[in-house]
Amino acid sequence: MSIGVTFDARDPQKQAEFWAMALGYVLDPPPPGFTSWSEFATARGIPRDQWRAAVIDPEGRGPRLFFQPVPTSPTPC
């Protein structure tokens, strides 16, 4: 059984890069036939503000961390 943890993030890619470095994880590789997730998302017509990111434990022991975008909240008055 594998475990995944999902986080809301204003900038999923930056969060993924930070946690990959902090935990010794790597960015989740793109699907076969694509050189990057941005290439995959563009080919599928996914709007940039809906792009997600994930990191995985290269040794396969830790959970996959998934970062999904959330809208920017308004500035409080």
Length of the chain: 77
pTM: 0.82
Between the CA of residue 75 and those of 26, 65, 69, 72, what are the distances in Å?
A: 33, 28, 18, 9
Listed residue (72, 51, 69) closest to 7, CA to CA: 69
Give the model confidence (pLDDT) of 50-76 as tens digits.
Answer: 999 999 999 999 999 999 998 776 566
Give the model confidence (pLDDT) of 9-24 as tens digits.
Answer: 999 999 999 999 999 9
Q: Which two tokens stand for residue 12?
A: 């999923």
